[in-house]
Structure 1
Amino acid sequence: MDPSPKAPHFLVPAGAVDCHAHVFGPSSKYPFHPGRTYTPPDASLEEYLHLHQTLGIQRGILVQPSVYGVDNSATRHALQRLRKSGHAYRGVAVVDSSVSDNKLDALHEDGFRGVRLNMLFKGGISWKDVTALADRLAERGWHLQFLVDVSEFENFETLIGQLPVPVVIDHMGHMACEKGLAQEGFQALCRALKNGHAWVKLSGAYRITSLDQTPYDDVVPFAQQLIQANPERCVWGSDWPHPHISVPMPNDGALFDELASWAPDVQTRKRILVDNPDALYFGDLA
């Protein structure tokens, strides 16, 4: 992460939500999964809240990272601290198919509202666990979040269409821009958005770009096509502290400014930053 985030150059609407971020460490207290793909540096809750203060964001979603496997302790304890201090934050957990109802209920009490299925990095769970979990999550009003490259997700529309819960796709589908807008997996994602069968996180632009620094101009047409497919199914996430990336570390203000080029219309940005996250994550508070 860049320790000195800059303020964005556009007016951030009140109640904005950062729908994708992680906290890490200290590793002495929260040990990493032995089969992890990467080892991140510490990224504290205090640093995360400082980021939000700088960007003008009031709420957020902490997502369980792959490096902790199914041990949600670091994310859970962060959510507990946020709740005690009066902050409106939610979480997305990682669990296995044998998780008990009591454990799911306890996670719900702490603010978790979804389960992440990691199909890219070691330490997550795979598709075989989906059907075993979906009905139980539906009872709690939770969703399933996929970290997946949509260009390699066979039968995407058919599979997600069979699930009884909302489906959220990380990082704009995590497909390299060089594969082109016409790539069938990306078009399947756009169709799923248009039909209301999926949500997408407008996040992680540096994970799909072929460029080294912001602005990531090659990402613009992809983000815009996702928004055009269904602006009511798009949310934004910082992906802070930007773990396991292959480009120079960007500044978070510059990353946030990318949204203004993806969605130049003020009302569309408000929908992405406020209204859509309200429906997906905070509906039980309405």
Structure 2
Amino acid sequence: MTTTPSKTEGWLDWYADPTRPQFRLPPGTVDAHCHVFGPAAQFPFAPERKYTPCDASKEQLFALRDHLGVSRNVVVQATCHGADNSAMVDVLRSSAGRARGVATVRPDVTDEELRELHEAGVRGIRFNFLKRLVDGSPRDDLATIARRIAPLGWHVVVYFEAAELEELEGFFETLPVPLVIDHMGRPDVTAPVTGPEFSRFLRFVDRTAAWVKVSCPERLSVSGPPALNGERHAYLDVLPFSRRVVEEFGDHVLWGTDWPHPNLTDHMPDDGLLVDHVPLLARTGQAQRLLLVENPMRLYWPDEAV
């Protein structure tokens, strides 16, 4: 009999009853960063994982999609599943074409396996440099993977801490595929938005024409969520950073919920509130349409983009 593993102590469960957003997302909105976890009884977690989450199924993801008014999803392989992409691929095959995927693969992945992933809807690979989530990211292996996926027209999603960019940017610039940066490179929002660290990040984005996800304000914020008084504006200390990225690189920005919000122990965000955060960082209808519809369609569904 298969037993369900116990969730990592201190982790919060995702918010099961999100409010309905006040901001109405434009038709065709893409949630360009979300995950599924298991269910563990069907899709076991990797033995080498750094954490054990609670289950977060494709049915629950699709229910959230419809509740928020999202049209499509980009499902990013969760580190707790390692390089077994079965749970993520199952979402893609169950989505009737409304989901794309970002996988994790090893350097010895076969051409046939890559073709199968492509046919399922995978369009990118994620390289994770957060030491608390992965044991290491050997650059020779990553470079090999990038060369392998280049003929497919895929991209590489990179996840790193802001302080690590100086060490990593030279390597990133050697990769022969487009770059997508998770969560604005995790800036220190207590530092000035005009300071040297974030300025380096902006120069890097400009130099490489990278795509940037202005996502996860709940992970970056120090001020945190609003008080429980009906206030819909939260994570305001992140806004100077996300607004600047949107205003400078409006045709290369993406947005996502990060549902089911892994590795949070302080508070769990209300996904309806995260939608209401969007018009604060993208302040015009055109900026919102680029962020939510046109950019992710161009990257993940280019044959359908208008």
Q: Which TM class, normalised by the smaller chain length?
A: over 0.9
3-state SS of paired residue (1:41) = coil
3-state SS of paired residue (1:114) = strand
1:147 maps to 2:126: no
Matching residue of 2:190: 178
Matching residue of 1:25: 38
1-structure distance, mates of 2:47, 2:222: 31
Render the CA deviation track for 1:96-141: whole Å, top value 9, x for unaligned. Answer: 1111111111000000000001111127854332211222212101
2-structure distance, mates of 1:125, 1:196: 21
2-structure distance, mates of 1:209, 1:113: 30
Percent sequence identity over aligned pairs = 39
1:101 to 111, 118, 121: 111
Partners of 2:193 and 2:241 within 8 A in 1: yes
Amino acid at match of 2:182: D
Amino acid at match of 1:191: R
2-structure distance, mates of 1:73, 1:185: 38
In the superposition, relative to structure 1, how do residues 185 and 126 fare at CA in structure 2: closer, same or farther (>3 Å)?
farther
Matching residue of 2:77: 64
1-structure distance, mates of 2:155, 2:280: 29
Matching residue of 2:173: 161
Q: Extract unaligned runs of 5+ from structure 1.
A: none
Aligned-CA RMSD value = 1.8
Amino acid at match of 1:95: V
Amino acid at match of 1:260: P
Amino acid at match of 1:158: G
2-structure distance, mates of 1:193, 1:259: 21
Of 104-113 and 174-183, more deviation after overlay is shown by 174-183
Amino acid at match of 2:165: F
2-structure distance, mates of 1:106, 1:123: 27
Partners of 2:91 and 2:99 within 8 A in 1: no
Could you tell me how far 1:225 is from its partner in structure 2? 1.3
What count of residue pairs does the alignment treat as equivalent? 283
1:262 to 275, 281, 295: 281
Shift >6 Å, 4+ stretches: none
Amino acid at match of 1:109: E
Amino acid at match of 1:20: H
TM-score (norm 1): 0.93
Q: Which has the larger radius of gyration?
A: 2
Partners of 1:151 and 1:184 within 8 A in 2: no
2-structure distance, mates of 1:98, 1:285: 32
2:261 to 242, 248, 271: 242
Partners of 1:62 and 1:89 within 8 A in 2: yes
In the superposition, relative to structure 1, how do residues 232 and 192 fare at CA in structure 2: closer, same or farther (>3 Å)?
farther
Render the CA deviation track for 1:40-73: whole Å, top value 9, x for unaligned. Answer: 1011111111111111111110000111110111
Of 113-122 and 4-13, more deviation after overlay is shown by 4-13
Matching residue of 1:273: 292
TM-score (norm 2): 0.87
1-structure distance, mates of 2:138, 2:209: 20
1:112 maps to 2:95: no
Partners of 2:92 and 2:98 within 8 A in 1: no
Could you tell me how far 1:29 is from its partner in structure 2? 2.0
Matching residue of 1:206: 218
In the superposition, relative to structure 1, how do residues 148 and 183 fare at CA in structure 2: closer, same or farther (>3 Å)?
farther
3-state SS of paired residue (2:190) = helix
